[in-house]
Amino acid sequence: MRVRSEEKRLEIVVAAADLFVELGYEHTTMSAISDRVGGSKATLYGYFKSKEELLRAVLAYDVAQEALDILKTFPLGEDLRAALVELGAQYLNGRLDALAITNMRTLASLPADSDIGKEFYATVLRPAWELLADQFRALMAAGRLRSADPWTAAMHWKGLNEAELLEPRLIGASSVPKLEEVSRITELAADAFLTIYGTDEAAEVD
């Protein structure tokens, strides 16, 4: 029964995520979500007491598993530049997709006194970035990156990859970028990152 309950909960979260993208968070009702899932509102409220609670679940769904998945294979092999490029591509493809953009817009539109954004950052988003900082810390300890603050390095890597593409996508000035554009950006980002944090040892291995 617990497995079926978890499956049902995920089904609801996915349905809500789809509707948030299609209709926007403000225009999505709990009735619309229950209709999409194919159950009653009573069943829906049995899993989520409010639309805000469901939003929290959608935000976590969008980030948590993706972060774990893309970091499992980083760094893969000895070519650190190639690993950074691949990581960047996976990150940008997720960061710029419709659900991620919808979630960012939704968070930005919430009242200033809402605690949803703060909670999301503290419990989901920051821990995801701390995973990357931990990876960089290990690479620094191994001599493959210059010794520095791992968190700052992770934020620099993030900024280098997002710089050209995120803002236009977020404000609707561009659509999902083509693969070749993502490749160009992530290669430039990897080169810039290694210019800042790379070591002679890393260059010799790569």
Within 8 A by CB and 6+ apart from 107, the residues are 59, 116, 117, 120
Residue ranges per structural domain of the chain = 1-49, 59-205
Give the helix/strand (H/E) hosting 159: helix 150-162
Mean residue pLDDT of the chain comes to 90
Q: Report the distance separating Cα 14 and Cα 36, nearest Å.
A: 10
Percent share of the chain, pLDDT over 70:
94
pLDDT band at 194 (very low <50, low <70, confident <90, very high): very high
Instruction: Evaluate if residue 202 carries a pLDDT over 70.
Output: no
Segment 51-69 shows an average pLDDT of: 85
Q: For 71-86, how does the pLDDT look when each residue is reduced to its tens digit (9 = 90+)?
A: 777 887 789 999 999 9
Q: For 94-106, how does the pLDDT look when each residue is reduced to its tens digit (9 = 90+)?
A: 999 999 999 999 9
Are 48 and 54 contacting, i.e. CB atoms less than 8 angstroms apart? yes
Q: Report the distance separating Cα 196 and Cα 34, nearest Å.
A: 50
pLDDT band at 201 (very low <50, low <70, confident <90, very high): low
Candidates 1.10.357.10, 1.10.260.40, 2.40.30.160, 3.30.310.50; CATH matching 59-205? 1.10.357.10
* 1-49 is a CATH 1.10.10.60 domain: yes
Q: Report the distance separating Cα 172 and Cα 157, nearest Å.
A: 24
